[in-house]
Chains A and B, each alone.
Chain A
């Protein structure tokens, strides 16, 4: 198709503002799927995406649309909605010329609306602001319109009203996309340059690469070259999803599609790479992506130590289409062999953990999430510490710095008080507050990232009855008065339980951690003393009492099968725990070191 008739666009939104529903309605409207075929939220294909209502992996659909009697090809490139997946959003945005910015008519602008909007602007996209859910009784499109005008500087006539649920306004939106989103630039006669923006592993086809052709044309049988590593392959198949798979002979400048080339080794493909024609190569690579830095780190350890290699394989497979996942082998005295993994954020971490358990069937223990600390040594060396157990001796440390973030907390103004209290508790420094309208504000605090990684989201939700939304940007490293706190079980330091804490909060944290550990560790055959220590000084202690009763007092009517079943269940439960020395620890124990809500 002539590229003047191609439009490449994404939909961006705060979570739950209706992105996937709008995508479905567009698919239906363009005849890509009949209403009957449409499973809810067609583009979200992973189980976890459906269950959590979030889109994690991007997906692309090529749609036919007729405007003024002419055929157009609309490529809808889906993006994840959550702050942790900014990297993926920027990947898909780089393959587009336009973006639909959805704002919920009942909620207004939220933290991630803002974050996604900035990303789209960085990518020079034409943005179409859309107010969704206008069918709901509590919708207030006028108020939301004013917010968009005030915060983003749009004019009233730029803003479209849509109900993704009923389909109202969808035709106008599609027309508007054709009218205002620029057709792709680039020349199909030029030398081939394709941007890799995603890849998946298919057991029959090998690695399937999602590409946006920027210049030139790729055809079946062409020999292609990965410009970052020089690896070459012959193109076996070119397809696109409408969203049903459609086989193509070629893909030309401006178009989006999938390429299979019998690529066996997943590590040959990196997202952001440029693919060119081996026989007639382009002289330069496309700009690619700024690599995202991992913000949150934790150790992943298989509960059964013989699953170490399986875990490595699982992480490699996950990394294939999630370049932001980092991992390297780690050894813990307590937990044995595992991996230190870096994630973009907490949700990213949860999703990966869940996929390992669910898709790869490996039971894992995860240690408490940590951030990267910068440690200035007395000899002037600078160390980056991603695990508390790697912290050097106190006497050799001159200064410890930790990452700080700046918050965007969107909230109805009645919750300002509780939110400020929460931020203070988390060692935050107040910056300022912007009024979006009379009743809503955006609160800015600078807070250590380490304080946000545990229960900040949960607490924010409960403090504001779920009305506040939260997003953050990293602002850099600042010196803090930090110390390493060790946890001892039965008198022995358990390295996987060590944490870094602020000195002023250490006593309180220590108390809270030992109490939570006491509750998290089931009673064992013997008493287990728990201690929190800084250096050699014990700052808090507690005890898990010895188990006193675990018996079926009455076994009636000879119901022996029931007794056996209970024992089997008990044994299965035990298997989910990690044996450390003579103590058995459940997963919760590793998370309880993050607690700080002990009441004295």
Chain B
């Protein structure tokens, strides 16, 4: 039984140079067909349970027109939401206006996530994203009129970026005074505009320095570092994202979306034609008990608090230390046992993968 829903809207008016998410240029005709198919997909998978979180992400969900948004919300209008539900909608800064915000609010959205990334003009062209500091400030003010739970994205580690550049962005973010900040370093992926241009990443040392700087800065002004790349004011952790990190079931629909239902993890096709033909699924894999235990760590250790040993025992009937090489890793200072939680020491968070590979079973051992 799932309690969270993710909905993917792949359309964008503008393609960012670094983006390797599932996206395409906005096309009215295609959007109509897509929303129809999205409804079909949802109808084929829906359950009758009460839902805690919904997340509509992209692409750019805010690229849709008002009547298209009506069609989108129509799909999920019968979803029963719990009393403390969280319903997030991703917005591109340029799309923010009163009409949109009211539309979202009327349709039960109670959290918005805004992809600001940077306000440094130096990087606009490189990223193919453009902001205006003053306009942005006004727009966030407008958002606050309607929403009391706002996330903004911060990106760093652009080629030639300095710590001073980063500080400027952080100073601006601080002035916006929102509830949640998501940060991530620029990753140069294949098949993106910058990947195709053979852009070189910044030095590993500087990247790490920036990460450490961000943590220090945000913690100092009252944000809690609760997940590797997420910060929030007390009580404003993203409940939806925690569904992922807590290894819980969730429904994912739309192009390229992934989900975890009835013990299957699946990923949808990224081909719009296949999707519109009703061939939603790209791959699907049953998760064995052993793999579930592995995921518990792979995902759970993204949380700063880590994995609760008692919860693990209640879920699997086994001690976590008996199942994995925990004691040895604690000895090597790659893990910590803190008040009943197994967690990654703060100075090792940024090399998390080195720790996680110890929990991965061999490919040929899968059942």
Chain B contacts of A552 at CB under 8 A? Answer: 352-353
Residue of A nearest to B291 (CB): A564
Q: Does B257 contact A (CB under 8 A)?
A: yes
A550-600 CB contacts (< 8 Å) to partner B: 550-564, 566-568, 570-572, 574
Answer yes or no: A475 CB below 8 A from chain B CBs: no
Contacting residue for B295 out of A555, A557, A559, A560, CB 8 A: A560
The yes or no answer to A525 lying at the interface (CB within 8 A) is yes
Bound CA span A506–B204, Å: 33
State whether B353 touches A570 (Cβ < 8 A). Answer: yes
Q: Of B8, B229, B285, B354, which one neighbours A553 at CB under 8 angstroms?
A: B229
Contact B354–A547 (Cβ < 8 Å): yes
Chain B residues, Cβ within 8 Å of A553 = 183-185, 187, 228-229
Judged by a CB distance under 8 angstroms, whether B205 is at the interface is yes
Chain B residues within an 8 Å CB radius of A554: 182, 184, 187, 229
Q: Is A465 an interface residue (CB 8 A)?
A: no
Q: How far is the CA of A572 from the CA of B363 in the complex (A)?
A: 9
Q: How many whole Å from B152's CB to the nearest CB in chain A?
A: 14
Min CB distance, B7 to chain A, in Å?
10
What is the CA–CA distance of A570 and B352 in the complex, to the nearest angstrom? Answer: 12
Indicate whether A36 reaches chain B with its CB closer than 8 angstroms.
Answer: no
**B62 interfacial contact with A, CB 8 Å:** no
Please measure, in the bound complex, the distance between the C-alpha atom of A571 and the C-alpha atom of B361, giving whole angstroms: 9
Q: Which of B235-270 contact A (CB under 8 A)?
A: 243-244, 250, 252, 256-260, 265, 267
Contact A567 B357 (CB under 8 A): yes
Q: Which residue of A549, A564, A566 has the most chain B CB atoms within 10 A of its CB atom?
A: A549
Does A290 have its Cβ within 8 Å of any Cβ on chain B? no
A557 touches B357 (CB 8 A): no
Report if A279 contacts B (CB, 8 A).
no
A554, A562, A563, A570: residue with the most chain B Cβ atoms closer than 10 Å: A554
A249 within 8 A of B: no
Q: How far is the CB of B106 from chain A (nearest CB, A)?
A: 25
Cβ proximity bits B77-121 to A, threshold 8 Å, 1 near / 0 not:
000000000000000000000000000000000000000000000
Known: A557-B57, A563-B298. A568 touches B363 (CB 8 A): yes
Interface flag for A52 (CB, 8 Å): no
B180: Cβ under 8 A from any A Cβ: no
Nearest CB in chain A to that of B366: its residue: A568
Option from B57, B258, B334, B350 in Cβ contact (under 8 Å) with A561: B258
Number of interface residues of A (CB under 8 A): 28
Which residue on chain A has the smallest CB distance to residue B332?
A525
Residues of B within 8 A of A537 (CB): none
Residue of B250, B283, B357 near A558 (CB, 8 A) is: B250
Kindly state the separation between the CA atoms of A561 and B256 in the bound complex, as whole angstroms. Answer: 12
Task: Please give me the residue from chain A that is nearest to B245 by CB atom.
Answer: A555
A561-B354 contact in complex given A548-B205, A554-B229, A555-B244, C-beta closer than 8 Å: no
A556-B57, A559-B267, A560-B244 known; A525 vs B334 contact (CB < 8 Å): yes
Residues of chain B within 8 A (CB-CB) of A559 are: 258, 267
Q: Which residues of B contact A548 (CB under 8 A)?
A: 204-205, 207-208, 350-351
Which A residues touch B352, using CB under 8 A?
A: 550-552
Q: Using CB atoms, name the residue of chain B closest to A559.
A: B258
Hey, which chain B residues are within 8 Å of A550, CB to CB? 350-354
Measured between alpha carbons, how far is A555 from B242 in the docked complex, in Å? 12
User: 1/0 per residue A339-362: CB within 8 Å of B?
Assistant: 000000000000000000000000
0/1 string, A452-467, CB within 8 A of B gives 1: 0000000000000000
Decide yes or no: A525 and B354 within 8 Å by CB, A559-B258, A564-B360 being known contacts: yes
1/0 per position for B212-231, CB-CB distance to A under 8 A? 00000000000000001100
Q: Are B6 and A558 in contact, with the CB atoms below 8 A? A: yes
- The answer for the CA separation of A560 and B297 in the assembled complex, in Å, is 12
Whole-angstrom CA separation of A574 from B356 in the bound complex: 13
Once the chains are docked, how many angstroms separate the CA of A558 from the CA of B254? 13
**B302 CB contacts on chain A under 8 angstroms:** 555
Known: A548-B350, A553-B228, A553-B229. A558 touches B252 (CB 8 A): yes
A545 to B208, CA, bound (A): 13
- Tell me, rounded to whole Å, the shortest Cβ–Cβ distance linking A461 to chain B: 27
Chain B stretch 150-195: residues in CB contact (< 8 A) with chain A? 182-185, 187
Residues of B with C-beta under 8 A to A547: 204, 351, 354
Instruction: Note all chain B residues with C-beta closer than 8 A to A549.
Output: 185, 204, 207-208, 211, 350-351
Alpha-carbon separation in the docked complex, A352 to B124 (Å): 54
Q: Which residues of B9-27 have CB atoms within 8 Å of chain A's CB atoms?
A: 21
Residues of chain B in range 42-66 having any CB-CB distance to chain A below 8 Å: 57
What is the interface of chain A, defined by CB distance below 8 A to chain B?
Answer: 523, 525, 545, 547-564, 566-568, 570-572, 574
Listed by A's residue number, 22 A-B pairs whose Cβ atoms lie within 8 Å are A525-B354, A548-B350, A549-B204, A549-B350, A550-B354, A551-B353, A553-B184, A553-B187, A553-B228, A555-B244, A556-B21, A557-B6, A557-B252, A558-B250, A558-B260, A560-B295, A560-B299, A562-B267, A564-B295, A566-B353, A568-B360, A570-B357
List 17 other contacts, CB 8 Å, given A560-B299, A561-B285, A570-B353.
Answer: A548-B204, A548-B207, A550-B351, A551-B352, A552-B353, A554-B184, A555-B302, A557-B256, A557-B257, A558-B250, A561-B258, A561-B283, A562-B267, A564-B295, A564-B298, A564-B360, A568-B363
Top 10 closest A-B pairs, CB basis?
A548-B208, A553-B184, A554-B184, A550-B353, A558-B244, A550-B351, A571-B357, A551-B352, A548-B204, A559-B258
Q: Which residues of B contact A (CB under 8 A)?
A: 6, 8, 21, 57, 182-185, 187, 204-205, 207-208, 211, 228-229, 243-244, 250, 252, 256-260, 265, 267, 283, 285, 295, 298-299, 302, 332, 334, 349-354, 356-357, 360, 362-363
